[in-house]
């Protein structure tokens, strides 16, 4: 936790060009873009980085095919371009994947109609992915035997992309990039409100771990608090053109249902898209789409029943899924940007995830509404442009602030990994070679891991039963990833708590050593804190950067 403590001391001692409140995907990408181009940036979050909406996604990076039906072609084109750009920029992390969609009898369109739409979708994506295919019911069954085709009229295959690791890890890598560019970031720092004093914003904050209060001064204030943007604007006296409405979505994590690496897509009983998504040794199923009034949500029995009913109707499983098969759940809200006069109440289910940035030029304040993982690079670039208009100068305006390290660095890592026969150390239950996983997760810092393993082969041993995480990774995490609570590591820097049953984690002989590495003399307290807060399914998320819940 030394990195966090060092940054806490820096936050009140400087005047920053920009303070970003909230470290979900919008705040993380904004901080990385601004600091990469030379601005002096501070980044805080009330909870952990990516601790809310950004860790509850479907792990899909897609061009918004569902917006084709509503005719929002400009948004689809923009998201397709964003998806393509992410695939090219993060080839180890954002990867093309096939979607197999089944259309059952009674659907509002014949299968040929949406299949034609996939061709238009493919063309709007500049033909970047593999071409769509039309499928008869027998073709669907041949490709994926677990699909029930008794009511199927037909279907189609098309391509989008997904995150090979997990959403929270993807977001954190933007935070880590921002730190490398000089951003002073700290998690578990709550904004108590902001006020203007002369030419600066003064934001009163509280360290939610240590309890101390102090002030952060900045020229520009960016409210990127995700679902809590409106609440923080109330604290800061900001009026905006947009506001948020909320849609709750849940996913269930269950044992792997198929060995095929593709997304199975259906239309649920309520007409919304419903997915079966590969997650290594597990499968993620969902999602729901429920209007809620506040961002504080949890999984209900009705949510679980809806997902299980829909999946059991559409898959020909030897044994239907039940609650006893659920390993973990994901639950969060989609913050949807609307204008109060837009009539959003009438067309709630058709609202898109597009982002909007409201700007108070006089006060030098930005509010970021909506957004999704697919559009994160656009958010970063747009924030840089708007902050530049507010008078902040960028010493390195053309610097490319995103993307994986150069191919030459990857080649160096892979060559060193081959020389030491690293992949021979891959755990028998692992989903991919060790060299591939370490590069994707740590990039240039993966070279540090190789050196640690060369000096001490024990650093290449899996530490927590049922996971792929090495002893050496825990040491790297302690140095560089600001893990403050055990959940930060188990749920967000990794996805261990999503794919490993809670009881297996609790009884793992390596868990205490992992906590010793991460927390030192606080190890026992952090373990007790984690298990005291853990419940089988009900979960209310930490807010991103906002108090007063």
90 falls within a domain: yes
418 in the same domain as 502:
yes
> Cα 434 from chain centroid?
23
Q: Render the burial of 25-52: b for 16+ CB within 10 Å, e for the rest.
A: bbbbbbbbbbbbbbbbbbbbbbbbbbbb
Asked if residue 466 lies in contact with residue 503, where contact means CB atoms within 8 angstroms, the answer is: no
91 in the same domain as 23:
no
CATH of the domain at 14: 3.50.50.60
Residue found by looking up tokens 């809806």 in the block = 306
pLDDT for 391 equals 96
How many structural domains is the chain composed of?
A: 3
Q: Which long-range contacts (CB under 8 A, 24 or more apart) does 467-471 make?
A: 467/494, 467/496, 467/500, 468/427, 468/429, 468/430, 468/431, 468/434, 468/437, 469/494, 469/496, 469/514, 471/513, 471/517
pLDDT for 535 equals 56
pLDDT digits (tens, 9 = 90+) for 384-418: 999 999 999 999 999 999 999 999 999 999 999 99
547 falls within a domain: no
- Give the bridge partners for 445, in sequence order: none
83 falls within a domain: yes
Q: What is the pLDDT along the chain (549 residues), one digit of tens a residue?
A: 799 999 999 999 999 999 999 999 999 999 999 999 999 999 999 999 999 999 999 999 998 888 888 888 999 999 999 999 999 999 999 999 999 999 998 888 888 999 999 999 999 999 999 999 999 999 999 999 999 999 999 999 999 999 988 999 999 999 999 999 999 999 999 999 999 999 999 999 999 999 999 999 999 999 999 999 999 999 999 999 999 999 999 999 999 999 999 999 998 888 788 899 999 889 999 999 899 999 999 999 999 999 999 999 999 999 999 999 999 999 999 999 998 765 544 455 557 778 999 999 999 999 999 999 999 999 999 999 999 999 999 999 999 999 999 999 999 999 999 999 999 999 887 888 999 999 999 999 999 999 999 999 999 999 888 788 999 999 999 999 999 999 999 999 999 999 999 999 999 989 999 999 999 999 999 999 999 987 544 333 333 333 332
pLDDT for 350 equals 59
176 in the same domain as 270:
no
476 falls within a domain: yes
328 in the same domain as 281:
yes
pLDDT for 537 equals 44
pLDDT for 427 equals 84
346 falls within a domain: no
138 in the same domain as 20:
no
pLDDT for 342 equals 54
60 falls within a domain: no
Q: Domain of 290?
A: 72-165+245-339
488 in the same domain as 384:
no
Rg, C-alpha atoms of the chain = 23
């Amino acid at each position: 936790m030394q990195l966090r403590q060092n940054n806490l001391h820096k936050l009140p001692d400087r005047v920053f060009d920009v303070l970003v409140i909230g470290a979900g995907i919008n705040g993380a990408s904004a901080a990385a873009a601004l600091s990469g181009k030379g601005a002096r940036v501070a980044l805080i979050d009330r909870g952990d980085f990516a601790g809310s909406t950004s860790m509850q996604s479907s792990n899909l990076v897609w061009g918004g095919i569902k917006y084709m039906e509503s005719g929002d072609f400009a948004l689809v084109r923009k998201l397709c371009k964003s998806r393509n750009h992410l695939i090219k920029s993060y080839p180890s992390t954002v990867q093309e994947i096939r979607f197999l969609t089944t259309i059952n009898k009674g659907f509002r369109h014949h299968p040929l109609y949406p299949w034609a739409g996939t061709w238009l979708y493919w063309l709007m994506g500049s033909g970047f992915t593999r071409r769509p295919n039309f499928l008869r019911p027998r073709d669907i069954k041949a490709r994926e035997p677990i699909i029930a085709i008794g009511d199927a009229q037909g279907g189609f295959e098309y391509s989008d992309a997904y995150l090979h690791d997990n959403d929270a890890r993807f977001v954190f890598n933007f935070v880590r990039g921002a730190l490398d560019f000089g951003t002073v970031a700290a998690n578990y720092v709550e904004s108590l409100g902001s006020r203007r004093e002369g030419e600066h914003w003064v934001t009163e904050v509280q360290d939610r771990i240590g309890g101390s209060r102090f002030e952060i001064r900045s020229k520009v204030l960016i409210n990127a608090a995700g679902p809590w943007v409106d609440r923080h604007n109330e604290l800061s006296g900001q009026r905006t053109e947009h506001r948020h409405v909320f849609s709750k979505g849940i996913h269930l994590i269950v044992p792997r249902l198929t060995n095929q690496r593709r997304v199975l897509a259906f239309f649920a009983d309520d007409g919304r898209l419903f997915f079966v998504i590969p997650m290594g040794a597990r499968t993620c199923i969902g999602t729901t789409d429920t209007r809620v009034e506040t961002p504080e949500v949890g999984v209900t029995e009705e949510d679980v029943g809806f997902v299980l009913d829909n999946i059991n109707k559409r898959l020909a499983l030897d044994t239907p899924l039940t609650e006893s098969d659920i390993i973990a759940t994901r639950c969060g809200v989609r913050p949807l940007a609307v204008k109060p006069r837009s009539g959003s109440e009438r067309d709630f289910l058709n609202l898109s995830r597009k982002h909007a940035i409201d700007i108070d030029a006089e006060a030098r304040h930005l509010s970021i509404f909506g957004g999704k993982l697919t559009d994160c690079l656009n958010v970063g670039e747009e924030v840089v442009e708007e902050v530049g208009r507010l008078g902040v100068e960028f010493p390195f305006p053309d610097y490319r602030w995103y993307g994986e390290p150069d191919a030459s660095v990857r080649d160096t890592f892979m060559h060193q990994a081959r020389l030491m026969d690293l992949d021979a150390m891959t755990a028998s239950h692992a989903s991919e070679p060790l060299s591939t996983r370490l590069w994707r997760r740590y990039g240039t810092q993966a070279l540090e891991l190789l050196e640690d393993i060369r000096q001490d082969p024990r650093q290449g041993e899996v530490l927590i039963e049922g996971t792929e995480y090495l002893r050496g990774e825990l040491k790297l995490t302690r140095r560089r990833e600001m893990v403050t609570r055990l959940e930060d590591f188990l749920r967000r820097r990794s996805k261990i708590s999503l794919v490993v049953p809670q009881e297996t984690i609790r009884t793992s002989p390596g868990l205490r050593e992992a906590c010793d590495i991460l927390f030192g003399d606080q190890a026992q307290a952090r373990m007790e804190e984690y298990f005291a807060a853990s419940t089988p399914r009900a979960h209310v998320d930490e807010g991103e950067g906002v108090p007063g819940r």
